[in-house]
Amino acid sequence: MELAVGRLPTALIKRRWPSTQIFFAIVAVGWIPFVLSAMNYRNESWFPWLISGRVLFLAGAVCLAALTYFVPRLSKHSELAYSLACLALQASFGALENPAQVDFYNFTSVFILMTAVFTRLDFSQWFKSSYLPAVVITGFPLVFKDARFFQSFGSFVDTFSAVVASLFVGLLIGHTTCRRNELLAENKKLQNDLTKERDHQKEIIEIQAKELSESRVLAEIAAPLRCLLTMCENHSLH
């Protein structure tokens, strides 16, 4: 009884807080300091979009945590979709900031890496539906940046080093994550096959046991009948 009680909290935590809810809970908490720091830019013309965007995505993380809890089927790609949406939001900040500045734009590197980590697709699907769109989204704000950043390849890489690095590192992480997903899927398929085989063997054993039991019953009935038949034959001879 004590052992069962000791296990109860852990079981409840595992059931009530799957990985998707943990993801959105951490992200929601992570947005709080950035919502507060947005007040430092209240003199910017695009401040309303900055503060409203961050508040909206904070609230969205809370809502998605609840929604995926009550409707688990929606949780399969919710983390990836949310990460891509965050990337688009941050890219918009990068496009709106002063063309001579890259602070907001370089922060898109965080969300590029998130799209690589939080995916449940295979590599081909992830590359087409997530990585390539992320590259396009990340490249769009460059249209609004100061031309001096593009005077040379070295100048470009030095200025946007965080984004450039995250695109390559994200590709490596994405490949590793997708390979892990493929292995997990293969392992799950093997487990299902083993379960089906075990159930099939169990059915065969049950059928054989039933047949054996029936044959024993028939043998037990046949023995007295043979004895009775023998006695009848002996009696008729006398």
Task: Write out the residue range of the structural domain in which residue 111 sits.
Answer: 2-194
Give the tens place of pLDDT for each residue, 27-59.
999 999 999 999 999 999 999 999 999 999 999
Does the residue 173 lie in any domain? yes
Does the residue 238 lie in any domain? no
Does the residue 35 lie in any domain? yes
CB 80 within 8 A of CB 115: yes
140: closest CA among 88, 189, 186, 192?
Answer: 88
Does the residue 236 lie in any domain? no
Q: pTM for this one?
A: 0.74
CB atoms within 10 A of CB 51: 16
Does the residue 75 lie in any domain? yes
Domain count, the chain: 1
Does the residue 186 lie in any domain? yes
Q: How far apart are CA 33 and CA 45, in angstroms?
A: 21
Does the residue 208 lie in any domain? no
Query: Where do runs of H (alpha helix) occur along 71-144?
Result: 78-96, 103-106, 108-117, 123-126, 132-139
CB atoms within 10 A of CB 207: 10
Give the tens place of pLDDT for each residue, 141-165.
999 999 999 999 999 999 999 999 9
Does the residue 199 lie in any domain? no
180: closest CA among 123, 104, 108, 105?
Answer: 123
Q: How far is CA 9 from CA 4, 16, 19, 231, in A?
A: 10, 10, 17, 72
Q: How far apart are CA 230 and CA 224, in angstroms?
A: 10
- pLDDT at position 5: 42
